[in-house]
Amino acid sequence: MLEFGTSRLGAWAWIALLVACGTVMLADGNRYLPPGREKYADRMGDGGADLLPSFDSAHALLTGQSPYHYQLPKLPRALTYEGFSYQYPPTHALVYVPLARWAGKSFRVASRAQFFATLVADVVLALAIVELLAVAVPLSADLRYALLGLFAFTLGLNPGAQLGLERGQSDIFTSAFCWWAALLFLRRHYAWAAFLACAGALLKGYGAPFAVGLLALGVLRRGSRRGTVMGSLLAGALLVAPVAKHFAEAPGAFRTRAHMYWAGWTNQGFYNLVHTIDADFLPSAHHRLIGLSGLVYALTWWRLSRVLRRGTGAERAMALVMYTCASLILILSFSRNALAYDTVLVLPGALFLAASQRRFIPWPSTRFAFARHALGLWLAVSTCLLFAMSAYRLIGIDAPPDGELPLHAVGQLGLLLVMAMFSVLPTPASAHLMR
């Protein structure tokens, strides 16, 4: 079933997926090149250090203090930026309250729990992509298991995820919330889809554009309106109401995060891409890239709204995945400091596109063989860039402190162009074009 000639995924799909897997294997294995040391997760203190602000802020909530300004002398203190000890929504700290209560004052216990929770979230996220892909491409049971292992490996051990795992970041939880919301929406579990979409938006805000568009679709359609409203209200009751009084301080904290910019090689955002090529083009070139992301986001939402009314199950899955991917790229395009671990939001969409490319292009293979091969090569290169992060460190050479081209940003631009093409091309109407 895994042979190129007989697999329903097609030769280019397997090539793209194996390129992604091979890139991760090379990046993960080159830590053993001499000198033997970590090549991607440059340590800055103890492991899980980025978890410390959320750990402290969760304890602040337990003591009735503000997550942005607090006094906890018996706990390790997170860094303060412009007077704020926390830069994320209070809902993000609220999610860590159970962990803080269980771990007590032991940050080591909390950071180790975060590590294992991240591994679980990795498998959960991979499962969501396999289930979405199974709607678009008929998969046998053995092929599902094979793809689950491949997706979990590439999502969990790529260089960006390694950095997030070492730092104790929560982006993979946001990613899992958003992609499972997409899957549940496709399966018409609208209440849970709305709840998870809101949760993805309320952690760090990365899922906000996705949640806005998905909730709009749920409210505008009669069959999904009630479930969407109920799921949203549940998210408000569980995640917003307990910390509602702290939202007044949140905008000031957000501004400190928005102004951060590090030109280091771990910054894989569009802003750093422009800065690396030619800083004289800032901010106009960055604004144009944001505009491109916004345009693709609007196109994919428009395409999804049409396909939901009169499309097949496969077409709905493909349109929903592209909308989800475009919405997450949009929010990342705004950030001046989009670090490598943020890309875990986008990688599931890249894997889906690489695997389902035979399904979403309405070109007969006999007349447009060149176009299909060009698309397959494009997606293979894009997936390699998204999973590589550093061209230098991929081959065992120290990355320069700045000046290295952010490969994730280039890969995201490649995905944007594919999704824009999909959104304006006609939907395949005949069965022979879907083979």
**DSSP-derived secondary structure for 218-234:** HHHSHHHHHHHHHHHHH
What per-residue confidence (pLDDT) applies to 361?
A: 64
> Residue 296: enclosing H or E segment and its boundaries?
helix 284-310
Q: What would the mean pLDDT of 207-227 be, rounded to a whole number?
A: 95
Q: What is the pLDDT of residue 429?
A: 39
pLDDT at 1: 38
Count Cβ atoms below 10 Å from residue 118 Cβ, excluding itself: 21
Q: How many CB atoms lie within 10 A of CB 74?
A: 6
Query: What is the rounded CA–CA span in Å between residue 164 and residue 167?
Result: 5
Look at 5-19, 234-248, 329-343 and tell me which has the smallest mean pLDDT. 5-19
Q: Which of residues 74 and 153 earns the better pLDDT score?
A: 153
Give pLDDT, residue 9: 83
Nearest to 42 by CA among 150, 161, 163, 195: 163
pLDDT tens digits, one per residue of 69-106: 888 877 767 677 777 889 899 999 999 999 999 999 89
Residue type, position 205, single letter: G
Q: Share the mean pLDDT of the chain.
A: 89
Query: What pLDDT was estimated at residue 42?
Result: 65
Of 36-40, 234-238, 283-287, 301-305, least confident by mean pLDDT is: 36-40
At 431, the pLDDT band (50, 70, 90 cuts) reads very low
| Span 376-404, pLDDT tens digits | 899 999 999 999 988 888 888 877 877 88
- Residues 215 and 209: their CA atoms lie apart, in Å, by 10
Residue 40: pLDDT band (50, 70, 90) is confident
> For the residues of 93-160, what is the DSSP string, one character each?
HHHTHHHHHHHTT-HHHHHHHHHHHHHHHHHHHHHHHHHHHHHHS---HHHHHHHHHHHHHHHHHSHH
- The domain ranges of the chain are 11-47+119-434
